[in-house]
Structure 1
Amino acid sequence: MTTTETPYLLGNEPDELRRLEEQAAALAPATRAILALAGIEPGMRVLDLGTGAGDVAFELSRVVGPSGSVVGIDQSSKALRWAASRCEAQGLRNVSFVHDDLHEMRLTGQVDAVVGRLVLLYTPDPAAVLRKFAGYVRPGGVVVSMEYEMSVAGLLPATPLSERVTHWIMAAFARSGLDPSLGARLGAVFADAGLSGATVLGLQAYRPPGDPTGSRMAAGIIRTLLPVLTRTGLATPEEVGIDTLGQRFFEDHVNSGATFRPPTLVGAWARVAGR
C-alpha cells in the first residue's frame, strides 16, 4: 500500500467532502440507473475506483447485498476516514476501503466488476486506468465508468450569470489540463482500453425554478475552483463575489423562470471478454 498522495484539483478538505456528499445526492438517481443498466447484481464483488467520500460504494453496497462485497480505493487518507465513518454510521458491513494510488496498486485475484464515477477525469491516461483494472475483472464481468459532460450545465434559457459560471467551470478544468467533456468521449476511451462495444448513455437531470440544487452546486464548485480561477487569470475574487454567488444564482434561477441543468452524467460500460 502506498502512502503517496497526488494533488487532486478539487482537494479533500471537509468543506469539499461535504460538497461531494451533496453532489452525490443529486447524482444518485442517475447513478442507480447506470449501475442497473450495466448489470451490477446481488452477490457481485466490486471495486469502486476513486471512492472519495464513499457514496458510490454505498450505492453499490445496497445493490450487491450481503452476499456481495465492495472495496473502495482512494489515494486520500482524509477522504477514506470520512468514508469509513459514514459507512459505520450506516451499518454497512459489506464495504471496505483501501488507501492506495490507482496507478501504482496491484491486486491479487479477480472481481466481478469495476466501477468509477468522476475519477478518470483526474487521471493522465484514462484508457490506461481502465485497461489496468479490466485486467482484474473475470471474463464476462463488467467495467463501468461515469463522467461529466459539463458544457450543458447552467440555466435554460441561459442568463448572463449562468453563462459566466459555466464558462468559469469549463475553463478552470481546461486550464488545469483536464477535459470537462470527458463523458462525451467515454466510448473512445473504452475502445482505447481494449473494451470494445461499450454502451454509452448520458442521463440529464432538470431542476425547476425555486429548487436550491443549482445555486448550491454552482456556488460550491466555484468556491472550490476559486484558486484556479484567480491563478490562471480567469476571474478575480471581486468578479466572482463568492460570498453572494449562491444567492445571486438562486435569484436568477427564480426570476428568469429557467430550468437548471446540472452537468450530464454519462455512463459507459462493457463486458470483459474471455481470456
Structure 2
Amino acid sequence: MKFLAFFIIFIIFYGIFDWIIKKTNFHHKLFNNKLLGKPRKYKFKFTRSVLIIIIFLFTFILELEKSSFNEKYGKFNYISIIIGAFLGSIYVNFAPLIFSRNPSLRKDNLKGIAKLMYQDVSDDLWDKENLTKKNLDFTIESIRFIDMYSKRLMNSNLLNEHKDNFVLRIGAYIGEVIKRKINQDFNWYEMDSVKEYSYNVGGLDSRKNQSVLYSEKRDIVISPLSVVFQFLEGNSPYTNLQSYVEEMIKNNS
C-alpha cells in the first residue's frame, strides 16, 4: 500500500515537472540558443558539448542528493520520490536532444524558379503580352500581373493538371519580391530543415518538398508557397496576393 502511494506521488510530480518543461519549452530553447526569445544572441554562447556536460553534472548532483536522502530517511521517502520524478522528467525531455544530431538548415534557392514566370511562358496570347520581364520586375507593383494570372488559372482546367508547378512558380516569385523588399537575412530553405531548427512553423501546411523564407537572426518564417496554395484553392483569407505581399513586407521590415 505504501509503495502504491509513493508511486502515485511520483506520477503526479512527474506530470507536473514534465508539463512545466514542455510548457516553457525550456529544453528546446536551451539547445537552440533561444532563451528569453532571443535566438543566438547569448552574450556567452555555450556549445552543445558544454551544455550536455552541465546537464550531466546537474543530474549527477541530484542523484547523489537522492541517495543521501535514501540513506537518511530510508529507501521510500517523499523528498527522494519528488527528486526522482524531477530527474525522470529531465531524462525523458532532454535525452532525445542530447543524443540527436544538431539540426542544420538546408538552403533551397527559388530565385531561378521565380524567373520562370517570364522565361517559360505558354503560347497563350495574354500570357505572352503580360508575363514579360519588363512587367515582372520583382517590384510590389508587378504582383498585380501575378494576381491577374492566378485568377485566370483558377478559371481554367490547367490548374488541376499542374497545380504543384503553378504553386511553386507563383510562390517563388512573390517570395522573391518579399525577400528583396525586406532586404534582410531572409533566405529560402527546405521547410523540413526549418522545422527541425525553429519552433515558429505552426500553421504551415504539411505538403512535401516545400520551401519557406526564414530569417535566422529573427527566427521568423514566411511561407509564400502555402499562401499561394490556399489562394488557388479558394481558401485564402487574402482577396489578392498583392495584399499578402504588402502585409509581409510591412510586418517584417
Instruction: Give the TM-score, by structure 2 length.
Output: 0.23
Structure number with the bigger relative contact order (C-alpha 8 A, sep ≥ 6) is 1
Q: Which of the two has greater helix per residue?
A: 2
Look at both structures and tell me which one has the larger radius of gyration over its CA atoms.
2
Instruction: Give the TM-score, by structure 1 length.
Output: 0.21
